[in-house]
Structure 1
Amino acid sequence: MPDTTQPVSELVWFKSSYSGGNTTECVETAVTRSGVLVRDSKLPKRAHIMLSAGAWSSFLAVICGSA
């Protein structure tokens, strides 16, 4: 499900506020029209994964304990 509306380099990537300032095991996310992209913050030029909005919501529900 590719999102052709924005090149990956123009997306706004962010880390969770829970990851802290100097941790090295972080992922970054970017919101697109079709879902959420996830990448390794240490290797931002490498591949990322895309999750549909529904898959992202399910993931958050599980990790936040509301599933």
Structure 2
Amino acid sequence: MAGRRPWARLRAKITQLKKTIANKNEELEQLRADVPALVRAVNQLTLENQKLRQALEGPQANVIPLVRPRT
């Protein structure tokens, strides 16, 4: 009986590791599926940021106050 215990522990460990591998593979699959959407979001934000920076660099609009400041 003493000879079977190490094998039983090894089988249990193998089963545990197979479950861990399966979980990690699921997680990796989900991460890979998320990448295209994240890339699109980053590209969109980059374009918006670029447009905002260009707007700041452009000529400033003339603003005329409706009420003149008191001196």
Q: Does TM, normalized by the shorter one, top 0.5?
A: no
Scaled by the length of structure 1, the TM-score of the pair is: 0.23
More helix by share: 2
Scaled by the length of structure 2, the TM-score of the pair is: 0.22
Which structure has the larger Rg over C-alpha atoms? 2
The higher-RCO structure (CA 8 Å, 6+ apart) is: 1
